[in-house]
Structure 1
Amino acid sequence: MKLVELKYLESYIQYRLDSYFKPKSKKVEPKMPPYAKWAIYVPEEIKKANLSNEEKILLLLAICPHIDSSLLDCVIQAMLESTGDFPQLGGIRGKNFRGFLPTGQTALFLLAGDDFKKKQQIYKFFEPEHFFEKCHILWIEEAPEGEPKMSGKLVLSDDYEDLMLLGRMGKPKFSMKFPAELIATEMEWNDLVLNDETMSQVLELQTWVTHGDTLLNDWGMGKKIKPGYRALFHGPPGTGKTLTANLLGKYTGKQVYRIDLSMVVSKFIGETEKNLSNLLAKAEKTGNILFGDECDALFGKRTSVRDAHDKYANQEVSYLLQRIENYQGLVILASNLKSNIDEAFVRRFQSIIHFPLPKAAERLQLWKNAFPSKVRLHADIDLGKIAQKYELSGAEIMNVVQYACLCALNDNKKTIHPSYITRGVLREFQKSGRIMR
């Protein structure tokens, strides 16, 4: 049984074709069924947008091939059999999908016909300021160079396809379109060892993730401050920046996606902006946390302009500053050195949190937490002295413990000997070019 809304779309297309080819038929335009009768899920933001009938038809036209692959072909082909080819109707065939795929030209014909003023109104549905573009719902795919803009395919976003068909958005999948991978941790807040000041600032972030919507919407602060929240984590490697981002997601019910900078940054002019824009647009729909590790390459200092490359590089950074500032969720960027980040960007952070190397007392806590419960420490091991003697980050301490445990397993023992730890510490010092004393 055909869905009520698609039955309407079929009737409307038939009405438009008859009006064009049989102007004397005087058929009555069918009435748009209310949302309450639609079988597909209509998101609240679409209901609140008070779309016109033309905009609703455009939405149905975009989703139709995803629900009923033969509908458009059947109603259009029946007319073309008696009238012949009709290029004004537009439409293309896909690579895998062989049915009729509507284009901007299809929308123009169905919604405006030969009325030029109406066509101008339809064009506005695809402008950046329109609701469809702002919410990344649907758009016209870029047409081949030299061809009319409206010959491009009408595209419904993957997010809204999932939302309208399933009633929920699917999880973003790692790809060139979404160069970020889902990360998680089994560790708890107690496993994160930070100094009191750093921990206090981290808990402030947790408060924002938990109550940000209330602050912006219920308390009306959304009119006074920019949406979203931007935090910079800076400090040496291995000091807990990634773990902190993971734990913030875990304890606020948000998923954390780590941006793959190698897929975002492009040597081609304009591609970096495009890649990041696609990533942020998709991530905004989920309300999840974006984490950019070692972000110096993406948000580094702007340089003096010596050639065209410098000019475009600076434009690129300026765009990134603006786009991140308008992102509506939590963005955490991590850098080993705060000084590597462009000053103009630093001013746009609501929170800048320093993750220093742990002091002796913190290192002792890390050593105590690191060893698995199934092993014993040799009587000659004094973790207090080890913590005092060796300045290691939390990640380096975990590397040493992993090495020591593997040594014990290799020796078929469950006791950690001092030599295991000493050799493990030596390995960590050698990796970073330090001299062990």
Structure 2
Amino acid sequence: MIKEKEIKQTIKSPFIRLLEKEIDWIEKCITVRMASADPALPLEDAGLPPAPKLPDEDHLYIDFIKHHQLSDEERLILLLSLLPHIKPASFSYFLDEGDTKKSGLITSSTKAQLLPTAETALFLVSGSDLSKRLAIAELFDSNHVFFKKGVLDILSKNDSGSQYDGELKMNQDYVESFLYNKVRRPRYSSDFPAHLLETKLSWDDLVLNPSTDEKLAELKDALLYKDQLSEEWGLGAHLKPGYRAIFYGPSGTGKSLTATLLGKMLDRDVYRVDLSAIISKYIGETEENLRKLLSKSEDKGYILFFDEGDALFGSRSDDVQNSNDQHQNQLIAYLLQAIENFNGIIILATNMKHNMDSAFSRRFQSSIFFGPPKPEQGLELWTRLWPEQLKKEPSLDFKLLASSKPFTAATIVQIVHNLALQAIRKNKYSVGMADIKRIVEELQRK
């Protein structure tokens, strides 16, 4: 007897039904193109059937097609690059009876794995109609949504053949989101050199100067209401995509934690960019590394956090004396355009804002100074961070500590951590001013 749960599992979702129709559609298109008596006929005259109707379902694959208003030709190319992940056997249509590959249509590393090329897509859509081919070739331009957003890529064959001979490959992130309807977090790689930032702390744990707090409140509002201003207030045409902010000030003043808490507030992942993997001494590599990172982050809602960002966004040279100066200026020009066109959130943190090119400051909507805590904030930090297991000796005066030396939050955490370890090790849990002085001197010697 079939259980009710098993019956429900056999019911196909609208997306699965669409996917089956999509596969049937592209197989019919392949059959028609291969069997066409006159391959010079354009797509509509060749009898290629229209794409299946999209269902009203909330699914990333369907949403992508609707949002970008893809034509049947674009949809066919998108589906062609997805086909190896759902039904690679469909490419058997391109094989001769002797299992020899038709030149320029299919590339394969093994006999069992057939992969589509860009040439396959051009042939499938335009046949040998030159005018149609030239028109469709524009869909492989770097400014097209497929390549601008890193959906597709054409892997070079490193030979003297056509630029379309390379494998037409869909980005794995899009494969997973289209098939499984969820965006998986990216792993650290050469294309995405960044680490996820997470915290168990909340805004209540962040102690800042009143002036910093006020500027941060403005930043929160700008991020929370950006979509409302763009869509409901009609300001979208006048606002740049994404958002850019600079956090500057000494180390340990809460820049990284603030960026992470902003991600928590907006329900967005925050990634700290590994600048050592971005910056290269070879001309053009830094730009290419950043392009890959931004491309992989497009439309994902990420917050990219560039810590010590002045290493990348440094000043250009007014007096160009050699090729290095010229390259630095070209790099700055590229970075300015790249971050301005990025539709996510970029936060750049630096200890030395004066090292940054002034052109960057003008393109960032927010610039917030994170200074050392004032005495009242210092007192609050010492009180909050002090564990109840540590007993205060009469000589220990938090108010005096906060007013005599403006320790940053990170430094206070380190001092308390070292005191706690010392207390456990020596089984002595009372702490006086002399103990703190000794810990501070040890930290200063490091």
Q: Where does residue 170 of structure 2 map in the other structure?
A: 156
Amino acid of the residue matched to residue 15 of structure 1?
V
| Within-5 A mapping of 1:360-371 | 360-371=375-386
Aligned counterpart for 1:75 among listed residues 93, 117, 135: 93
Q: 1:401 touches 1:424 (CA, 8 Å); kept in 2?
A: no
Give CA deviations for 1:360-386 in whole Å, capped at 9, x if unaligned: 222222111222233322232111112
What displacement does 1:84 show?
Answer: 5.3
Q: TM-score, normalised by structure 1?
A: 0.90
Query: Which deviates further from its counterpart, 155-164 or 35-44?
Result: 35-44
Task: Give the superposition deviation at 1:137.
Answer: 2.2
C-alpha contact (below 8 Å) 1:159/1:285 kept by paired residues: no
Partner of 1:233: 247
Structure 1's 71 and 85: CA in aligned 2 closer, same or farther, altered over 3 A? closer
Number of aligned residue pairs: give it: 424
Q: Which amino acid aligns with 2:74?
A: E
Deviation at 1:85, TM superposition (A): 4.5
1:21 Cα offset (Å): 8.7
Which residue does the alignment assign to 1:434? none
Partners of 2:58 and 2:300 in 1: how far apart? 23
1:357 paired residue number: 372
Q: Residues 344 and 311 from structure 1, CA distance in 2 versus in 1: closer, same or farther, beyond 3 angstroms?
A: same
- Cα RMSD of the aligned pairs, angstroms, is 2.4
Contact 2:146–2:152 under 8 Å retained in 1:
yes
How is 1:56-67 mapped onto 2 (pairs within 5 angstroms)? 56-67=75-86
Q: Tell me which amino acid in the other structure corresponds to 2:268.
A: K
* CA distance, structure 2, for counterparts of residue 381 and residue 244 of structure 1: 30
CA contact (8 A) 2:378 2:402 kept: yes
> Is 1:325–2:343 an aligned residue pair?
no
Alpha carbons 1:235, 1:337 under 8 Å: kept: yes
Q: Which of structure 1's runs of 4+ aligned residues deviate more than 6 A? A: 37-40
Paired position in structure 2 for 1:435: none
Specify the alignment match of 1:35 in structure 2.
54
Residue 309 (1) aligns with residue 324 (2): yes
Tell me the secondary structure at the aligned position of residue 87 of structure 1: coil
The letter of the residue matching 2:200 is: E
CA contact (8 A) 2:94 2:102 kept: no
The alignment's TM-score, normalised by the length of structure 2, stands at 0.89
The CA deviation at 1:33 is 1.4
Amino acid at match of 1:222: G
What secondary structure does 1:231 align onto? strand
2:230 aligns to what?
Answer: 216
Partner of 2:350: 335
1:248 equivalent among 246, 262, 276: 262
C-alpha displacement of 1:145: 4.9
CA offsets 1:133-181 (integer angstroms, 9 cap, x no match): 3333223233415332111111212232122101121112111110111
Quote how far apart the aligned CAs of 1:324 are.
0.6
1:86 corresponds to which residue? Answer: 102
After TM superposition, give the deviation of residue 20 of structure 1 in Å. 5.3
Residue of structure 2 aligned with 1:418, choices 433, 438, 445: 433
What is aligned with 1:204? Answer: 218
What secondary structure is seen at the aligned counterpart in 2 of 1:334?
strand
Aligned-partner SS, 1:226 = coil
**Cα distance 1:381–1:36, how it changes in 2: closer, same or farther (>3 A)?**
same
Distance, in Å, in 2 between the alignment partners of 1:314 and 1:333 is 19
Q: CA deviation at 1:27?
A: 8.4
Aligned to 2:69: 50
| CA–CA separation in structure 1 for the residues paired with 2:230 and 2:296 | 21
1:113 counterpart = 2:127: yes
- Identity rate, percent: 38
Tell me the distance in 2 between the aligned counterparts of 1:220 and 1:419. 62
In the TM superposition, residue 292 of structure 1 has moved relative to its aligned partner by 0.5
Bigger shift: residues 102-111 or 123-132: 123-132
**Which letter maps to 1:166?**
Y
CA distance in 2, matches of 1:216, 1:326: 16
Tell me how far 1:206 sits from its aligned partner: 1.7
